[in-house]
Amino acid sequence: MRYFFCFMLLTGACFASNLPPKRTKKAKKVIDLGTGPCHDPVHPLITLAMEKGVKAVPLRKIFLYRKLLKQCKKTGHRETVKQLKLKDYQRDYQKAQFMAGWTSNHAMCVTIVIFYYYVGMVTAEK
Amino acid sequence: MEGFDENPDVFFPAKNVFTRNLLLNWGVYYEFFNNARLGYNSFTSYEAGKLNLQESKPAFQRSIRYRMIPLETFFRWRPRIELNFTLTPIWGRAKITMDTKPSDKFEDWNELLNSFGDSDPLSELAGTDQLVNNWIGYSGMIGVRFYLSSRLGLDFKFGFMNNQYKQDEWSVQRNKVKGPAMKIDDLPIFSLRAIYGLK
């Protein structure tokens, strides 16, 4: 037994390399930020922006609103923030997509007046 | 500014793009309908410099302000792009002031007015004198607005201004005098501005 251990020790000493041991990847530290303002209960400012649009957020609270959005992104609600912005564009788009009532007549009048002005300018110069 | 600079007797020194072609523009709009806004808009042209008159070299300031109450209709072509149409009356107001020495006041003002073609010499002046003219007009503009965010946008407009300016309707100390022959009756106009929306 003693010879066997001596043999193993010698063999190990002869074939040992001085390479550093392989480093294994460190597991990413997961920072637990807890629940964010987009989690239940949702922050009232975020709810207001969801229901009535970003423009409805009072100007004096706009910095707080931006801070909340950042926190939402950090706590896994990146998609919610994206949807919040997209929804706002869609809301305005649906509201003003078509000219309603008299507004199309007004637009047509403006177009005609400008068209005649520029036609007049060109023909007057000739 | 055609007409204003063609003055053979008095040379206006501050002629450049900023004092002749660029106007400072600001406005406030209220969206009273899904597709319409009403507001107040002001375009200002400003010039300041020194005149080289016979008696003295007085400081000279000239401002032309086009005040508008625009009615704007619009629609969203794309979620981020809006086309708008504006028709507005104009209240135009021009002011010319000169800071002269009290002893040279009458000579300086008369020389300036004579250069515009006014032949009647002034007999009444006060401590602070200014030439003022008011007129009315109208304007039409078509524009494109691109929304950078739901609150912030860039707005480009083009159109024209029609001003009923009359050279003979200037007044100084309630006396009618003849002013500069500015050719501002038919002007093409281009405007670029940043928009911020509140609710």
From the number of C-beta atoms within 10 Å of its C-beta (0-12, 13-18, 19+), residue B7 rates as middle
Q: What is the 3-state secondary structure (H, E, C) of B36-103?
A: EEEEEEEEEEEEEEECCCCCCCCEEEEEEEEEECCEEEEEEEECCEEEEEEEEEEEEEEEEEEECCHH
pTM score of the predicted model? 0.78
Whole-angstrom Cα Rg for chain A: 35
Looking at the complex, report in whole angstroms how far the Cα of residue B155 sits from the nearest Cα belonging to chain A: 17
The pLDDT tens digits of the residues spanning B89-116 come to 999 999 998 888 877 777 888 888 888 8
The pLDDT tens digits of the residues spanning B140-199 come to 999 999 999 888 999 999 999 999 999 888 988 778 888 888 888 888 999 999 999 887
DSSP string, B25-36: EEEEEEEEETTE
How many other CB atoms are there within 10 angstroms of residue A77's CB atom?
20
CB nearest A92 (choices: B73, B76, B159):
B76
State the best of B31, B32, B34 to mutate against chain A, taking most chain A CBs within 10 Å.
B34
CB nearest A54 (choices: B73, B87, B150):
B150
CA distance A2 to B46: 105
Stretches where chain A sits below pLDDT 50 are none
The pLDDT tens digits of the residues spanning B5-60 come to 777 777 776 677 888 889 999 999 999 988 999 999 999 999 888 887 877 888 88
